[in-house]
């Protein structure tokens, strides 16, 4: 049960983290362009 929760959490982190990094990169790029 706990293993399943950890796996789910890690999978969520694995999906969310690149999105977060990409979002920050785009935000920073837009800020530079302005």
Q: What is the pLDDT of residues 1-34, one digit of tens each?
A: 678 888 888 888 888 898 989 999 888 887 766 5
Which residues does 8 contact at the CB level (< 8 Å), separation at least 6?
Answer: none
Q: Check residue 2 and give its pLDDT.
A: 75
Q: Check residue 22 and give its pLDDT.
A: 92
Structure tokens at 20: 């977060």
Q: Check residue 34 and give its pLDDT.
A: 59
Question: Which helix or strand (DSSP H or E) is residue 26 part of?
Answer: helix 2-33
What is this structure's pTM?
A: 0.46
Domain ranges (residues) in the chain: 1-27
The span from the CA of 30 to the CA of 25, in Å, is 9
The span from the CA of 20 to the CA of 27, in Å, is 10
């Amino acid at each position: 049960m706990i293993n399943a929760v950890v796996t789910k959490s890690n999978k969520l982190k694995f999906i969310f983290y690149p999105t977060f990094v990409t979002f920050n990169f785009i935000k920073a790029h837009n800020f530079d362009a302005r």
